[in-house]
Amino acid sequence: MLLLACSVHGQLSSDFYQSTCPRLQRIVRSATQQAIDKDPIMGAAMLRLFFHDCFVNVREATATISSSGCDASVLLDDTPTSVGEKGSPANFNSLRGFEVIDDIKAQVEAACPATVSCADILALAARHSVSVLRGPRWQVPLGRRDARTAASPAEAIANLPPADMEVPGLIGIFASKGLDAKDMVALSGAHTIGQTRCGVYRARIYNDKNVDPNFAAIRKNNCPPFGDDNKWTPLDLQTPTRFDNKYYRNLLGGRGILHSDQALYGGGQVDGLVKSYSANNSAFFADFALAMTKMGNISPLTGANGEIRLNCRKAN
């Protein structure tokens, strides 16, 4: 995986901070563990933040960079003159854990001032979160720098896959980021942890035909036909805070909570991958780790591009 990462972006390496911030991994690991111990949902929150950061990569017609993939632009607060991706309908009331990144950044700054980017901290926090929740481990290539500006709300919507998307659309949007169908199915397995809101999955449990009726009845108890749009529920009721392959087993039984999840199984082109991961947790872990490494290499800012933010919420 490290060889793959280096072949894509030679300026990233797993030992990038070995001499400049040797305690980095220990600091991030400890802070991430403490955050999850306090609130188990923070593990999924870190993973979701990283995904939403990397997938919004926008280059304007003038070739100036608005947001360049894994660049921590999702962490930037709005300013009096600019509304960014954090407040986009795709992110607002959906992304959580910003204060966890703030805490990790403060600890890293105390140990290694003006050295480690928020983008790399987010990448490490996502990896450690999966590990803490008993998922796979992988080496994280480092050396990303931070964006000075965020993408617009519209750009975030255009780059992030919606919960009602079908497989061809999912394959297309992942392909636009340099990820293939196997990466898409493996990364979708992140929905084995975390939560979703009633307004996001209501149409699935009330309207879809390929949903297990008992599953739908249970879910309807927490999501009425009208109202309670922002009421949260676990994506996986069985092991909501354990990273495992239950997600794929649920799809085989019509128990995917999001339309875009269940779309992965049911006579389509990625059925074989879903079956494989449902039967082989090790295969899922291996492909997920590889896909996360590839996703972490979506157009990072390196070298003299971007900056090392001192506060992850605002540009220097």
From the candidates 9, 52, 128, 259, which is the catalytic residue? 52
- Whether 73 has a binding-site annotation, put simply, is yes
Contact (CB, 8 A) for 86 and 92: yes
- Alpha carbon of residue 236 to chain centroid: 17
Rg (CA), the chain: 19
Amino acid letter, 33 = Q
Contact (CB, 8 A) for 46 and 126: yes
- Whether 40 has a binding-site annotation, put simply, is no
- Whether 274 has a binding-site annotation, put simply, is no
- Whether 130 has a binding-site annotation, put simply, is no
- Whether 244 has a binding-site annotation, put simply, is yes
- Whether 228 has a binding-site annotation, put simply, is no
Alpha-carbon span 53 to 49, nearest angstrom: 6
- Whether 71 has a binding-site annotation, put simply, is yes
Q: Residue ranges of the alpha helices (H) in 189-270? A: 198-207, 213-220, 246-252, 259-262
Buried b (16+ CB within 10 A) or exposed e, 46-62: bbbbbbbbbbbbbeeee
- Whether 180 has a binding-site annotation, put simply, is no
Alpha-carbon span 10 to 165, nearest angstrom: 34
Is 52 designated active site?
yes
- Whether 303 has a binding-site annotation, put simply, is no
Alpha-carbon span 118 to 144, nearest angstrom: 9
- Whether 183 has a binding-site annotation, put simply, is no
- Whether 236 has a binding-site annotation, put simply, is yes
- Whether 146 has a binding-site annotation, put simply, is no
Write the CA distances from 270 to 50, 159, 208, 281, integer angstroms.
24, 22, 20, 17
Token digits for 10?
Answer: 């030679």
Other beta carbons within 10 Å of 93: 12
Annotated binding site: which residue ranges?
53, 56, 69, 71, 73, 85, 161, 191-192, 236, 239, 244
Q: Annotated active-site positions, please?
A: 52
Annotated binding site for substrate: which residue ranges?
161
Annotated binding site for Ca(2+): which residue ranges?
53, 56, 69, 71, 73, 85, 192, 236, 239, 244
Annotated binding site for heme b: which residue ranges?
191
